[in-house]
Amino acid sequence: MNTLRRYSPVSFAKKTIQTERRDGWEVVLAYEDEGDAPYLVDLSHIKKWDVQDSDLSAIQPWGLQIPELPGSCLFERGILINRMNRTQAACWHLIGDHVGQTDMAAFTETTDAHLLLAIVGRELFAMMEKLCGLDFGSPKMHYPCLFQAPVLRVPCQIVLLGQSNNVFAMLLACSRGYGYSMVEGLLHAGDEWGLHPAGERAFTNWMGMVKIH
C-alpha cells in the first residue's frame, strides 16, 4: 500500500467540499461556494516532466511529436508539450487517464519541484497586465502558446491555452518555493474582478467546453 504523502506548495483558506487522494496528493476537486469565474486553480499535483536533448525531433513522448519552434505548444490526449528552446521542452499531463512513467534518459520528472496554477476568466489579460509586461491579447495569437517571462519577478512558464465564449484559461508554472508569494500576488491583482480559488473540476469543466489545437 502506497503511504507516500505529497503536498502542494500552496493551500487556500477556503472550505473544501470534495477531495480525492491521487498518487499521494490530496487533490481538491471543489470548494464551497465557488460561483462563476474568474478562478484560480492549483494544479501542482499533475504530472510534469522536463525534456532535454540535443535532437528533440528524435523524441516522441507517448507517441507525440514535440513542436519544432520555441514558444509552440501541442495538446493531444490530455498532454500539453511546450517547446522552450532548441534543446528543451516541458510535458504536462493535464487531463485524462494515467500515461505512466518514461525511462528515457532525456526525461526528468519535475512534478514535486514546480507550482502549477490555472487562471480562468474573462478578465485574464487585464489581470496579467498588472504582473508582467507581455501582450497576451495580440490578434495574431495561436492557441495554445508558451511565453517565458518573469511574473512578480519570478521566472515562469506561461501557457495561454485558449478561450471559450471569451472565457480564457492560462497556465502558470514556477519553482514551488515561490508558491505562496505567487498566489498572493495573483489574488491581489485579480481582486477587483473577484478572482477566487476553485477546485480542479472548475478547470476540467472549462477544458470540456473548448477545443484546443
| Alpha carbons 117 and 105: distance in angstroms, whole number | 27
pLDDT in tens, 75-97: 999 999 999 999 999 999 999 88
| Alpha carbons 140 and 58: distance in angstroms, whole number | 30
Percent of the chain with pLDDT over 70: 97
151, 133 Cβ separation under 8 angstroms: no
pLDDT in tens, 153-167: 999 999 999 988 889
| Alpha carbons 42 and 116: distance in angstroms, whole number | 6
Task: Give Cα separations from 66 to 34, 55, 88, 151, 196 (angstroms).
Answer: 36, 11, 10, 26, 34
145 Cβ contact list (under 8 Å, min separation 6): 71, 72, 73, 159, 160
Grid coordinates representing 52?
A: 532535454
**CATH, domain 12-213, list 3.30.1360.120, 3.40.50.300, 3.30.565.10, 3.40.50.180:** 3.30.1360.120
pLDDT in tens, 36-49: 999 999 999 999 99
**Rounded to two decimals, what is the model's pTM?**
0.94
90, 147 Cβ separation under 8 angstroms: no
